[in-house]
Amino acid sequence: MSNTVLIGQYLETHSVFHRLDPRTKILSIFIIMLSFLTLETVASYVVASLFVVGILLLSKVPLQVFGRGLKPLLFILTFTFVYNTLLTKGTIIWSWSFMEVTQEGLENGIRFVGRIILLVLLASVLTLTTKPLELARGLEKLLAPLSKFNVPVEQFSLMIVIAIRFIPTILQELDRLLLAQKARGYDMSALSLPKRIFAYIPILIPLLFTTIQRAEQLTYAIDARAYGKGKGRTQYKLLQFRQIDSIVGAVAVLFVLTMLLIKLGGV
């Protein structure tokens, strides 16, 4: 299961995105993701999809990785599609008993599912091509102005990165618990879906316990390295914008402007 998670894992492929300054990736992906919230027409979704596919290819991360990473989202995507399809009022195209499928519901379901997939794929590129420490330094530099208002920027950046990195770690622990139960003759994969959902409940307590233990061990490791609050710490490798960062930033801005023109033009 841990191998199917996109967010929180890093994969070295020596692509152009790996060489970018983390601040460039964070800002570019942030504004692109914001532009995805304005997607409405078919043309805008086609342009956004082609753009994201281009990013995935340039990252040199195997497409199978992204395909496996979307599997855990199937339930959320299915629920989103069914929810919008059945509960959106409009022109009825099919009905049975109390259920009604409307044209507007189908359009909303497809639109929201497509938007979620694009957002997840784009966010995964950030973590798959950026090391956790580089991501923390990038966040710290971007949020540095907030330190003037006594905001603990260093601690906040480290907390965000650790939270993201803990996602695959927690799932690895879940895999270990499931294998332990399977070794004792209790295979949850053989159960029906309702029984499987309830079977996960007893696992939550040991999973929560081991997660807290890992968090405590990480706290001791940080203290042992005298990290402290992180304020005023120097860096061995300084972040520096290069020409490739300017090009990528310009492409991101150009894409956002294109999405706005498509929306305003009603294409």
pLDDT digits (tens, 9 = 90+) for 85-134: 888 887 878 777 777 888 888 888 899 999 999 998 998 898 889 888 78
Under 8 Å between Cβ of 26 and 139: yes
Please report where in the chains the tokens 């959902």 appear, as a residue: 197
Is 191's pLDDT higher than 80? no
| Sequence ranges of the domains in the chain | 2-265
- Residue 33's pLDDT band (boundaries 50, 70, 90)? very high
Buried b (16+ CB within 10 A) or exposed e, 180-203: eeeeeeeeeeeeeeeeeeeeeeeb
What's the one-letter identity of residue 66? F
Tens of pLDDT, residue by residue over 137-187, are 888 888 888 888 887 887 788 788 787 777 777 877 888 888 888 888 777
Residue 266 has pLDDT above 90, yes or no: no
Pairwise CA distance, residues 11 & 248, whole Å: 20
Supply 33's token pair.
């993701």
Whether residue 26 has pLDDT greater than 70: yes
- Other beta carbons within 10 Å of 142: 16
Residue 226 has pLDDT above 90, yes or no: no
What is the Cα–Cα distance from 179 to 16, expressed in whole angstroms?
38
| Nearest by Cα to 241 from 29, 26, 41 | 26
Mean pLDDT, residues 245-260 taken together:
93
In three-state secondary structure terms, 100 is: strand
Position 224 scores a pLDDT of 82
CA 51 to chain centre: 17
Q: Cβ distance 133 to 66 under 8 Å?
A: no
Instruction: Please check the confidence at residue 73 and state whether its pLDDT lies above 60.
Output: yes
Share above pLDDT 90 across residues of the chain, in percent, rounded to a whole number = 21
Spatial CA neighbour of 152 closest among 164, 139, 165: 139
CA distance 140 to 201: 38
